[in-house]
Chain A
């Protein structure tokens, strides 16, 4: 399988359409303490696409997202958002630059209400835009509108997943990182979430990076994907190509 193409930050005028940014990860090496997890990973996510990050447990998928969002400082490499290198910046600065991350295991702030969780996301927008943005979110996520004054801790698993995605969207990100959104969700809810992710790409032209163990579902909606194994990229191609590759599927993707 091919390695990453040329690091492409250009092509689309940077920042003109909010929500359509390119993300290029170049040769990222990262880990925790003495344990190195990623050994030079490169990914290119074109604007307005869904890029799937696949691989078995422990392959380094979550670490890659953390290296992108700033939670883990990479030992080397660059993270280019529309050409601007964000590697090494603190997570809050990366978030302010426009990379939203919905971490694995949801991350609703249970002590706050649904509305307060959303308000938190909205804080990254201009004050003038917040009202309209909130209204739009309530329209799109009817369930959240109904439960807006409930403590977030009282929501079901699927509703929480909705909340964290909505909250991330509230911040108006240019790139959205989703870490295992399917985890712990019932199949019906899962398909709803996947639907939502697809629509986000189609309707809002959001650039989405989707980490998933459920490779089949991920490849069904993704434009392209990479497969990680033991911290290195073993495959990178269009989603349809990856899905069609029998050896790859059986070896790394489990189906």
Chain B
């Protein structure tokens, strides 16, 4: 029973990371109808930037902020330079470009930092927490992870709903043509969407790197699992992304705990295939299957 509680709680913590990646994918997807395969690689790259700043200044939080800023800038830059030319073209072009970005960033990180594993500091201690004598299976850092992701999600949701920029962003995503006629600078809104997604991704990278170590391919698995979470929640729904992330995190943690860690990836693949075969719009949506 104790094991079960531990697995559940730590699964929720990991699930938050998947949720962050999933949310950034949903953000970009809703705004530009592009699936950003490089989201994980971008997160890895911004984590490296944090790594450099932390090593130079000795301050974790300075690195943290630097990574978030870098995420914003990288997201915006990618949209402007590499994605903008392929929006409106057949979807295949955007897929290939995004894969190119994925591998390019991994290569760049390898060139700049080498392919070795780097240890990355956590924000908070990673000693296990207990209530009395009952070990909970999570750490202070896990609590911070959950809190940070939820806070980011909450802030974004509030901004979308209540601010003028948020309204413009939503209009640009739902009906770009109509939005233009109302003076919305749709291009800028797209860039902003990507910037925010980059920010979320950067957060995910910061939160997960202590556990996985930082190396050019460190976000590969996290990304595909974040993608799976987004699919489970339905690519159209940020709330679904969070739910999907949590569900996936917990389930995979059970798999890892009871069946062994080598089975996790395969289970993720199976989960993805099952959802796509039977509920392609996600577990939560009632919308008809979208033929992409």
List chain A positions with a Cβ less than 8 A from chain B: 69, 71, 90-92, 95-96, 100-101, 103, 107, 109-112, 116, 119-121, 123-124, 167-168, 171
Contacts and interface: CB of A to CB of B under 8 A. Distances in A.
A139 to B, nearest CB: 21
A107 B179 CA distance: 9
A109 B186 contact: no
B182 A112 contact: no
B181 A91 contact: yes
Q: Top 7 A-B pairs ranked by shortest CB distance?
A: A95-B183, A91-B180, A107-B178, A96-B183, A92-B180, A124-B183, A111-B174
Nearest to A98: B183
A110 B183 CA distance: 18
Which of A69, A120, A168, A171 has the most chain B CB atoms inside 10 A of its CB?
Answer: A120
A92 B177 CA distance: 9
Interface stretch (B61-69, B164-172, B204-212): B164-172
6 contacts: A92-B185, A101-B181, A111-B174, A119-B167, A123-B164, A123-B168
B87 interface: no
Given A91-B181, A112-B174, A120-B182, 8 more contacts: A71-B180, A91-B180, A92-B180, A107-B177, A111-B170, A120-B167, A120-B171, A168-B182
B192 to A, nearest CB: 14
A124 B183 CA distance: 7
Interface string B201-229: 00000000000000000000000000000
B182 A171 contact: yes
Contacts of A90: 180
B123 interface: no
A108 B145 CA distance: 40
A71 B179 CA distance: 12
Given A69-B181, A103-B178, A112-B174, A92 B186 contact: yes
A95 B170 contact: no
Contact of A112 (B170, B183, B184): B170
Interface of B: 164, 167-168, 170-171, 174-175, 177-186
A120 B174 CA distance: 13
A123 B183 CA distance: 8
A109 B183 contact: no
A171 B178 CA distance: 13
Contacts of B179: 92, 109, 120
Contact of B184 (A69, A92, A116, A168): A92
Contacts of A116: 167
A48 to B, nearest CB: 22
A167 B182 contact: yes
B236 to A, nearest CB: 10
Contacts of A168: 182
Contacts of B178: 103, 107, 109
A95 B171 contact: no
Contacts of B170: 111-112
A198 B178 CA distance: 24
Which of B174, B175, B183, B186 has the most chain A CB atoms inside 10 A of its CB?
Answer: B183
Nearest to B175: A109
Nearest to A97: B183
A91 B175 CA distance: 14
A95 B175 contact: no
Contacts of B168: 120, 123
Contacts of B181: 69, 71, 91-92, 95, 100-101, 103, 107
B275 to A, nearest CB: 24
B171 A112 contact: yes
A109 B180 contact: no
Nearest to A121: B182
Contacts of A123: 164, 167-168, 182-184
A109 B174 contact: yes
Contacts of B182: 95, 120-121, 123-124, 167-168, 171
B146 to A, nearest CB: 29
A124 B164 CA distance: 11
A120 B170 CA distance: 10
A215 B140 CA distance: 72
Contacts of B174: 109-112
Contacts of B175: 107, 109
Nearest to A130: B164
Given A109-B171, A109-B174, A112-B171, A120 B180 contact: no
A119 B182 CA distance: 11
A69 B179 CA distance: 13
A248 B67 CA distance: 69
